[in-house]
Every structure is written in structure tokens, then in C-alpha cells.
């Protein structure tokens, strides 16, 4: 059996959490990540017949029975994940009842998965139905995206258009735009269901006055989506109060999307 601390998926979780912390996206225990793993790969590092303990999830996820995830722990600080992964992360498998997590590794101090597990697992189900290659759901609280939810109209089309117009790369990176949820109590099955519903149409979902969710095939793609939104939101917050002299026109957004061959939301442009 190989050493779990050498597993590329564990290293990637640690590296990503540190980068997110360093960028200020994850104060204290803010944010959470879940990563759908390949069973054969995990079997190289762990005995899959050895369940440390079981933890009820509080909701049904029948579509994910038998699936294995590495997930950040609730209340755990992102700044600590890299130096102490065994206490701050856990590897769980969804049991045959669809409502129990079997702990295979981690949460060594008796902890449990993120309080946002409903939003994560329900979003995995949604994204897998759209793209079977989806592996990551990532949530965090980036400064400028969060600030923008205080001052910008929280309409999906309006928010997406504003972000597309902040910088040339935006429409190329997130041509499918952003879904938006109003303020809701976090950690509940309700916000999980609402997020997952949006995830059928969007890889990015903004939680008003809370943060953002991203989904992708791998850690870099997902990180890059949020990073690009955050950069665009920063441009907006740096300039929204100033007279705007130059802007990217709708015709130029169309030109960009066509040149890069991305499938963008055409009804979001006034053309
Ligand atoms: P957890 O510590 O339970 O992951 O919660 C952090 C968070 O960001 C809640 O939305
Ligand atoms: Zn949060």
C-alpha cells in the first residue's frame, strides 16, 4: 500500500487550500472543497474495506452511492490544511443507503465534513448530469466578489454582463456566466438544493452576501474560474465610482467569443 501523504489528490487539496488562503478567499474556517476521487486510485493508498466510522449526512444522495470524495472538515482553517491534512481533511464514501458517509481516512481529531456538504454533493450530482467529467466543487469568500454582491444588482444577466465587460478574458473563461442566489441561511439542505439547481446551468453560483461556488473537471480549472471572476469583480470595485471612459462593447464580446470558439450565453448580449 502506498503512503496516502504522497497521493497526488491529497497534495492537490493541500496546495489549493493554501493558495486560496493566501489570496484571502478563506478567512478562518471560511470555504470548503470537495473532490470526487477515482476508486482505483484511492485503493492504492487505503484499504477500502476499512471504515473508521460512519457519519449521517442528513440528506439523500442516491446518485452518489459508492462514490468517494476528499472533503474539507467543518470548522477547519484553510491556513492549517497543508501542514496537518489528517485533522483538516477527510476521505468519505457514500454508503449504500445514500444518506451516510463512511469515513475511510482523516478527520482524525473526531471532526466531520463541511457543514456545506448538502450544497457540495447536490452540486456534484447536477454537474455530473451535465458533464460526467466534473470532479470538483469549491466554495469560498473572495473579497471583491463578496463586495460586489453588496453594491451590484443581483440579477444573473446583469451581473454576468458587468463581469464580462471588466476585462477581455472574462467571457472566454466563463462564457456560461454566473448563477445567483439571494441571501439564504448557509449549511442547509435548502441552500444545497437551490445551488444544485443553478449548477445545472452554470459552473459558477454566487451566494449574495456570502461568497461563490465553482465547479470543474479538475482543481486548476475550478480555481481558475473563481480567480477570473474575482479579478473582474476587483476591476469593478476599483472603478465603479469613477467616470468610465472606455468599455468593452457587446459587439466586441461577441467577436471575442466567436474568435475563441466558446459557447456563450447569446441572450446576455444586447445584439
Ligand atoms: P465549514 O467550516 O462548515 O466548511 O463552513 C464554512 C463556510 O464557508 C460556510 O459557508
Ligand atoms: Zn461560506
- Please give the pLDDT value at position 239: 98
Q: DSSP alpha helices (H): ranges in the chain?
A: 8-22, 39-42, 78-81, 85-88, 117-130, 143-151, 156-164, 170-173, 189-199, 219-239, 250-260
- Please give the pLDDT value at position 134: 98
- Please give the pLDDT value at position 40: 98
Does residue 73 contact residue 113 with C-beta atoms inside 8 Å? yes
**Mutation probe of ligand 1 site: the residue of 30, 55, 137, 186 with most atoms within 8 A of C-beta:** 30
Bridging pattern class, strands 204-207 and 179-181: parallel
Q: Is 186 in the pocket of ligand 1 (CB under 6 A)?
A: yes
Q: What whole-number distance in Å separates Cα of residue 146 and Cα of residue 25?
A: 10
Percentage of the chain modeled with pLDDT above 70: 100
Q: Give helix 117-130 / helix 189-199 axis angle, nearest 10°.
A: 20
Question: What confidence tens digit (pLDDT) does each residue in 216-250 have?
Answer: 999 999 999 999 999 999 999 999 999 999 999 99
- Please give the pLDDT value at position 46: 98
Q: Is 75 in the pocket of ligand 1 (CB under 6 A)?
A: yes
- Please give the pLDDT value at position 263: 97
Q: Is 248 in the pocket of ligand 1 (CB under 6 A)?
A: no
Question: What confidence tens digit (pLDDT) does each residue in 148-179 have?
Answer: 999 999 999 999 999 999 999 999 999 999 99
- Please give the pLDDT value at position 9: 98
Q: What whole-number distance in Å separates Cα of residue 164 and Cα of residue 154?
A: 15
Does residue 145 contact residue 213 with C-beta atoms inside 8 Å? no
Question: What confidence tens digit (pLDDT) does each residue in 33-55 have?
Answer: 999 999 999 999 999 999 999 99
Distance 256 CA to ligand 1 centre (A): 37
Q: What whole-number distance in Å separates Cα of residue 117 and Cα of residue 127?
A: 15
Concerning whether 41 is annotated as a catalytic residue, the answer is: no
Q: What whole-number distance in Å separates Cα of residue 271 and Cα of residue 268?
A: 9
Q: Is 228 in the pocket of ligand 1 (CB under 6 A)?
A: no
- Please give the pLDDT value at position 49: 98
The residue annotated as part of the active site, out of 116, 156, 227, 230, is 116
- Please give the pLDDT value at position 159: 98
Q: Is 32 in the pocket of ligand 1 (CB under 6 A)?
A: yes
- Please give the pLDDT value at position 4: 98
Q: What is the pTM of this model?
A: 0.98
Distance 122 CA to ligand 1 centre (A): 16
Amino acid at each position: 500500500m502506498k503512503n496516502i501523504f504522497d497521493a497526488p489528490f491529497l497534495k492537490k487539496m493541500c496546495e489549493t487550500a493554501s493558495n486560496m488562503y493566501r489570496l484571502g478567499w478563506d478567512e478562518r474556517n471560511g470555504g470548503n472543497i470537495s473532490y470526487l476521487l477515482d476508486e482505483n486510485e484511492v485503493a492504492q493508498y487505503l484499504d477500502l474495506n476499512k471504515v473508521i466510522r460512519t457519519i449521517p449526512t442528513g440528506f439523500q444522495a442516491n446518485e452518489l452511492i459508492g462514490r468517494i470524495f476528499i472533503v474539507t472538515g467543518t470548522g477547519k482553517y484553510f491556513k492549517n490544511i497543508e501542514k496537518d491534512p489528517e485533522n483538516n481533511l477527510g476521505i468519505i464514501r457514500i454508503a449504500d443507503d445514500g444518506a451516510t458517509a463512511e469515513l475511510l481516512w482523516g478527520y482524525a481529531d473526531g471532526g466531520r465534513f463541511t457543514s456545506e456538504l448538502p450544497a457540495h454533493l447536490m452540486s456534484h450530482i447536477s454537474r455530473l448530469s451535465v458533464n460526467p467529467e466534473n470532479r470538483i466543487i469549491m466554495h469560498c469568500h473572495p473579497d471583491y466578489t463578496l463586495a460586489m454582491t453588496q453594491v451590484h444588482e443581483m440579477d444573473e444577466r446583469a451581473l454576468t454582463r458587468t463581469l464580462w465587460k471588466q476585462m477581455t478574458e472574462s467571457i472566454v473563461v466563463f462564457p456560461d456566466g454566473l448563477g445567483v442566489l439571494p441571501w439564504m441561511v448557509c449549511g442547509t439542505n435548502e441552500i444545497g438544493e437551490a445551488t444544485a439547481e443553478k449548477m445545472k446551468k452554470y459552473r459558477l453560483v454566487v451566494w449574495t452576501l456570502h461568497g461563490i461556488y465553482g465547479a470543474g473537471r479538475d482543481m486548476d480549472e475550478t480555481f481558475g474560474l473563481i480567480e477570473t471572476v474575482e479579478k473582474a469583480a476587483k476591476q469593478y470595485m476599483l472603478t465603479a465610482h469613477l467616470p468610465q471612459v472606455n468599455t468593452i462593447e457587446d459587439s466586441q464580446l461577441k467577436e471575442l467569443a466567436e474568435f475563441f470558439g466558446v459557447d456563450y450565453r447569446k441572450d446576455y448580449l444586447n445584439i
